Structure formats: structure tokens, C-alpha cells
């Protein structure tokens, strides 16, 4: 999946813009390895020695790049959300049709969850509590931006009579439902990502 990330055409642009750390730099490789391990074993069970071993350095060297273990989690999380934000904006750019925007958002979030934009997005919820309060606030700013963008599109859909549920509820339901796909849906399984998007829209009774 890391490989996939590097091959995405927009990555160099995002690196240049400072959205994310260069995945080929030492720090970038550290982040990718950490994200992957945090996802596999959880933050608490992942030791800095594990991370170092994954990258091929010694544990002490990690602290050249990050002041402590928690700051790695913080970096993984804020890069994940920054990347998701950037890709989300690009995905709906210029689109007027609300249904298409809705589908784009769903697809974008699923891509974020399933690693098209690098691991890390799922950690936002599963490892949230391991972030210090200060760090939580920092990430919360980005999350709020992301969430309100979603809610606004849902509100448009509601205004056009395309859905009946309140945007506030719908966003919470969808976030949960999509995050959960991280636990059961596999890209290389029986269903494609597009079929998954389709089932989500079907559930919400959204017209094509």
C-alpha cells in the first residue's frame, strides 16, 4: 500500500506544498511504518523498537526526528487528515451535481480509510485517546474542517429533497459505517470499491 501511495501523481505536489512529509525521506518512512504498526497492533502495543526495526534503524534514532512517541501518532494523524482534506477538495472541485458530490465524498473517505492515501485515517478514531489533550485540540481543528465540509454537502442534498435524515445525524452514521469498513472490507476481496460506494448510496436511498 505504501508503494501505491508513492505512485499517486499528486504526492510530489502535496509534498512540495508542505501538506505531507516526503514519504521517501527518513521522517516520511518513519511515519509510514508507524502508521502501519499502529493500525496493526494499536498505539499502546507498538514499541518504538518495533517502529525502528520496521524502518531499519535503532530505537534511539527515532528521537532525532520526533521528541517522543506520542508526537509520532500526532504527526501520523494530522498528515492523514491533511491529505484527506486535500484530496477531498480536489475530488469535488467544480462539481455542481449534489448526488455526484455525495458519491465523491463517500468514495474519497473510503479511499482514505483503505489506504489509497496512506494508512492513518482509521487511526483517527481508534487511537484517538492516546493523544494528549493538547494534541487532540490540534487535530480537532483539521477534523472540524473536514467534518463541516461533509455536513454542508449533506445539507444541500437535504434541501433538494434527496435525503430525509438530518445532516447532523447522517454524518455521524456515515462516519461510523465507513470507518467500520476498515474492519471487514478488503480491496482485494469479492467486491470493488465502487460496489461498496453503490451499497452505501443504496442504503441511504440516494437516487443515481
Q: 150-157 contacts: CB < 8 A, separation 24 or more?
A: 150/105, 150/174, 153/92, 153/98, 153/101, 153/102, 153/105, 154/102, 156/98, 156/101, 157/98, 157/99, 157/102, 157/206
Q: Which of 26, 162, 175, 187 binds a second copy (CB under 8 A)?
A: 175
Shorter beta-carbon distance to a second copy: residue 26 or 165:
165
**Size of residue set near a second copy by CB under 8 A:** 34
Residue 144 makes CB contacts below 8 A (sequence gap 6+) with: none
Q: How far apart are CA 65 and CA 27, in angstroms?
A: 6
| Residue 64 contacts which entry, DNA, a second copy, none (Cβ below 5-8 A, type-dependent) | DNA
For position 65 contacting DNA by CB under 7 A, the verdict is yes
Q: What residues from 78 to 137 belong to the interface with a second copy (CB under 8 A)? A: 125-126, 129-130
For position 202 contacting DNA by CB under 7 A, the verdict is no
Shorter beta-carbon distance to a second copy: residue 14 or 112:
112
CA 177 to chain centre: 14
**Residues near a second copy (CB under 8 A):** 41-42, 44-45, 125-126, 129-130, 163-166, 169-170, 172-181, 183-185, 196, 199-200, 202-205
Amino acid at each position: 500500500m505504501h508503494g501505491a501511495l508513492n505512485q499517486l501523481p499528486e504526492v510530489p505536489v502535496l509534498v512540495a506544498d508542505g501538506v505531507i512529509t516526503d514519504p521517501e525521506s527518513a521522517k516520511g518512512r518513519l511515519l509510514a511504518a508507524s502508521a502501519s504498526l499502529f493500525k496493526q497492533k494499536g498505539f499502546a502495543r507498538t514499541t518504538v523498537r518495533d517502529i525502528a526495526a520496521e524502518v531499519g534503524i535503532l530505537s534511539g534514532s527515532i528521537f532525532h526526528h520526533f521528541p517522543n512517541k506520542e508526537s509520532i501518532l500526532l504527526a501520523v494523524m494530522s498528515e492523514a487528515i491533511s491529505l484527506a482534506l486535500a484530496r477531498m477538495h480536489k475530488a469535488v472541485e467544480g462539481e455542481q451535481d449534489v448526488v455526484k458530490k455525495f458519491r465523491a465524498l463517500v468514495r474519497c473517505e473510503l479511499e482514505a480509510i483503505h489506504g489509497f492515501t496512506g494508512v492513518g485515517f482509521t487511526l483517527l478514531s481508534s487511537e484517538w485517546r492516546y493523544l494528549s489533550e493538547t494534541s487532540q485540540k490540534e487535530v480537532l481543528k483539521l477534523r472540524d474542517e473536514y467534518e463541516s465540509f461533509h455536513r454542508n454537502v449533506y445539507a444541500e442534498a437535504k434541501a433538494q429533497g434527496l435525503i430525509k435524515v438530518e445532516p447532523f445525524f447522517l454524518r455521524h452514521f456515515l462516519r461510523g459505517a465507513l470507518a467500520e469498513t476498515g474492519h471487514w472490507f478488503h480491496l482485494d476481496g469479492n467486491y470493488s470499491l465502487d460496489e461498496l460506494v453503490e451499497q452505501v448510496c443504496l442504503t441511504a436511498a440516494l437516487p443515481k
